[in-house]
Structure 1
Amino acid sequence: MQWTSLAALALLAQHAAAQFNMLRFACSQLVVDRVDPLVNPGMTYTPHLHQIVGGDSFNVTMEPVEHDLAGQSTCTSCSFAQDLSNYWTAVMFFRSNNGSYHRVPQIGNGGPQGQLINDGGLAIYYIPSGQTTAFAPGFRMLIGDAANTDASKVDQANICHRCWTSPSESQFVGGAPCTGSDTAEIPADPSCYMIRQTIIFPACWDGVNLDSPDHQSHVAYGQGSGATGGGACPSSHPVKLPQLMYEIMWDVSQFRDQSMWPTDGSPPFVYSMDLGGSAAHGDYLFGWEGDTLQRAMDNGCNLNNDCPAAGLTAQQPAQYNACKIPQQAPEPVDGWIKQLPLGDGPANQELM
C-alpha cells in the first residue's frame, strides 16, 4: 500500500514504496466546548476551548473507573462504529484587525488514499509497527503544553504545522509529517489556503499505569521520529502501542486577505488559549469496543474500510456526522465574536 496522504516512508526513502497497513479515518465534531475532563475534571468554563470528537458519553468528569466510554455511548462521531474513544484539541481562531475573532473551520482530509468526509473535526491514524498492544480500558494521555509560549521547547518531530499552498486538500503538499518547512508555530502567510496541524502521540507504555499525574509520564517516544509507527521502546516503557496521530485541516482560505490581519504585528491565527503553535496539544481517552482495536492491529485492517476479521464496520458520513451533544459550558463560539472564550465563566460574545 503506497503511503500517500502521509507520504512519509516513501519520501524519506527517495520515493520508495512503503508496504504496510494502518487505520486512517474521519472523526466529525461532537461539540466545541469549554470543558476538559482530563486536565480539569468536573469543571465547566475551563481556561480554554476545545473541539471534541468521538463517543457521545463525553462529559465534564469522565472518571476512569466508573466511565465506560464504549458501554455508555450511544453513537460516535468517528467513522468506525466500534470506536467510542474521545479525542480533542485546542481550537484555532482568526484575529481580525478590528479586534474580533472567528473560529477557523476544519475540513476533511483528501489525497490518493481517499477523501475523508468530516463535519469539522479531524483525521485519526493508528499506525502499527511490528507487534503492538492495544490501549487498555481506562487508558488516557495527552501531548503538548497548553501554557507553553516558547516554540523552541516544542518537539517539532511530533507537533507541527504546514502551510497548505494548494486550494484543494486532495492535492498533497510537502513530504512526511513534521519535516521540511513544517513549523512549530502557526504559519502566518497569505499563500496558505489551509494549515495542516499534526499531533503524533508516544507509542511506548510502561505497561502498568493507565494514566499519570501529568498524563504523560506513563508513555514515551521510541527511537526514531515521525509517523512511522514508532521505533524501539526504552526499557522504562517497554510495551509498544499503536502510534496515534491526529491531522487537522484548518481552512484559512477566507482569511487570506491581509487587509483583515492585525496591524500591530500580532499573529493573525492563534489557538483558543490566545497563544500560538507553541501551545498546541492533544488529548486522548481510549474507548474502543472490546478487543476490536487489538484485532484491527493484528489483522492488518486498513484505512477506513470495513474489516470483518476485527469486527470493524465503517459508518456512512450521514451517520457519524449526526452524532452530536450540546455544550456543557454554553456560550457562542461561532461567527464573529467579540473576544476569545477565556476565564471562569461564559464570555460576553456580542457580535462586533
Structure 2
Amino acid sequence: MPSDVTWESWVGTAATIAAVIVIAAIALALLALVAALVSRRVPWVRDLARRVRSAMIATTAVVSIWIAGAISEPSAQDWWPAVSRLFLIATILTGSWLLAASVSFGFERLIAREETILIGPEARRRRTQLLVIHRLVLVTIAVLSLGAVLFTFPEMRAVGTSLLASAGIVSIIAGLAAQSILGNLIAGVQVAFTDAIKVGDVVVIQGEWGRIGEINLSYVVVYIWDERRLVVPCNYFTTTPIETWTRRSDKILGTVYLDLDWRVPMDELRAEFQRIVEASPAWDGRSLDATVTDAQGGFVTVRLVMSAKDSADQWTLRCEVRERIIGWLQREHPDALPRTRVDLGSA
C-alpha cells in the first residue's frame, strides 16, 4: 500500500471492509465446521445450522460492514450518524430474524418429539399448546424488535414517554385494544390452554363437519370434509357451544336408521347386520346392536349401532352397513321394504 494511503482514507475504508468481511467469512466457516463435527454425535445440530444459515450470514454481514465503517473514513463524515442508525436498525431486524429462526427450530423439534411419545387426544392437546406458545413467542419477538427500532429515534422516545405519562390516553388505547384485538388474542390463548379444542379434533360447527386444522392467535381454521375451509374467530369457541367428537377419545359410535315394513324379520336382520359388521375392517370390535326404536305410521324404525376407532372409520362403516343391508333386504326380504298401504274398500 502506498505511504500516502491511510486507514482513514476511502481506499483504507475499502480495505477495512474487505478485511472485516474475510474475517467474518472465516468465523462463519469455523462455526459450520464445528457444527458438522458436533452433528456426528448430535444430529439435530446440522439441521439447526441449516435453518439459521441465511439469518446468520445476514446478521454477520450487517455487523461487519457497520464495524468497518465505524473505524474508517465514513465515521468522520457528517452523514455517518444517520447511516450508523440504519445499520443499528438492520442489526436489530436481522438479529430478530436469527432469534426467530432458532426459536422456530426449537419448537418444531419439541413438537416432533411429543408426537413420537404421545398419541391420540393428549398428543393433539400438547401440539396445540406448543403451536400457540410458538406463535406468541414469535409475536413477542416481532413486537420487541419493532419497539427497539422505534426507540432508536430520540423523537419516538419522547413521544413514548409522553404517552406513558398520560394515564388517560393509555387507558383509552388499552380499552379499545382489549375489545377488539386483545380480546380475540386472549380468546385464542384460552382456547389452546383450556383444552376446549385441539388441532386434529373432529367438530361440527354451524352444521359443517370437519377437523380443526389450524389454531392461530386470533382465528381457527376448520378443514371441512369437502376440502372447503371455515375460518372462525377464536372468541366464537369461548362464547358458543360446539359439537366435538374427539375431546377425550377418538373412539366413536355410529348409527344407521332404517324405516321398514312391519313384516321385517328382526332376527335374520340382526344376524346379517352382525355378519356385515364383523367382516368389516372398519369395526373396532367394541360394540354392535340392532334395535327397533319406534313403530308408528305404518313403519318400524330399526336403529343399527356400531363402533369404530375414529370418525373416518365410523363414516366408512355406516355407509357400508347401510348399503349392504338395503341390498340384502332387496334380495332376501323385499316384503320388508317400506310401503304405503291404501284401503280401497267401499265407504
Given the two structures, how large is their TM-score scaled by the length of structure 1? Answer: 0.20
In terms of fraction of residues, the more strand-rich structure is 1
- Structure whose alpha-carbon radius of gyration is higher: 2
In terms of fraction of residues, the more helix-rich structure is 2
Q: Which has the higher contact order (CA 8 A, sep 6+)?
A: 1
